[in-house]
Amino acid sequence: MTDRTAAFPIDPIFIERWSPRAFHPEPMPSEALLTILEAARWAPSAYNVQPWRFLYARRDDAHWPRFVSLLDSFNQSWAGSASALVFLLSDTGSDDAAQQPQASPIHSFDTGAAWSHIALQAVRLGYHAHAMAGIEFEAAREALAVPPRFRIEIAVALGRRADPETLPPQLREREWPSPRRPLVETAFPGSFPA
């Protein structure tokens, strides 16, 4: 296992959060999923626009096979064992005071904040979240009736961790929390170092 020690005193939930691929193929109670999405609803956004939208399926509902089919084949190989799948969308526009649509330059950034809330609330409830860019985007847009103004940002698998042996062999060795670059290589006083 990799070293996951913070250099400064942060809440342990940030260390506990990571993105496993091995999930128990068990149903997730609706209340748990909605609690996770409720946490995401409270993410910050510029001008309180809240550009995020969440489309979801739980493994025990009629939407599940369609949601799994919208992932690329690599992600289908493991995410099909998750308890829930959520597609995060962002509204690429915002309405001004006169309700005129305008392009929003930060819709993806704000929706990323909502993703972070999903990941942390999942850990608080004993689940984990794994975000995936491996999506069949055009098929998902059509199958999920996503309006043109919205961008499909990411899909998220949610569930309780399972033994890595449940994964395809090529994924087992990667089933550990990843380390982080030291803060001194990420945060700089003043300007970017030469």
pLDDT digits (tens, 9 = 90+) for 46-82: 989 999 999 999 999 999 999 999 999 999 999 999 9
- The yes-or-no verdict on residue 2 having pLDDT over 80 is no
End-to-end CA distance of the chain: 34
The number of C-alpha atoms within 13 Å of 103 and in the hemisphere containing its C-beta is: 1
pLDDT digits (tens, 9 = 90+) for 126-178: 999 999 999 999 999 999 999 999 999 999 999 999 999 999 888 898 898 99
pLDDT at 3: 72
pLDDT at 99: 60
pTM of the entire predicted model: 0.92
pLDDT at 104: 83
* 126 phi-psi bin (left φ>0, alpha ψ -120 to 50, beta other): left
* Residues paired with residue 188 on neighbouring β-strands, in sequence order: none
pLDDT at 170: 87
> Cα–Cα–Cα angle for 124, 74, 40, nearest 5°?
30
pLDDT digits (tens, 9 = 90+) for 70-118: 999 999 999 999 999 999 999 998 665 556 667 788 999 999 999 999 9
In three-state secondary structure terms, 126 is coil
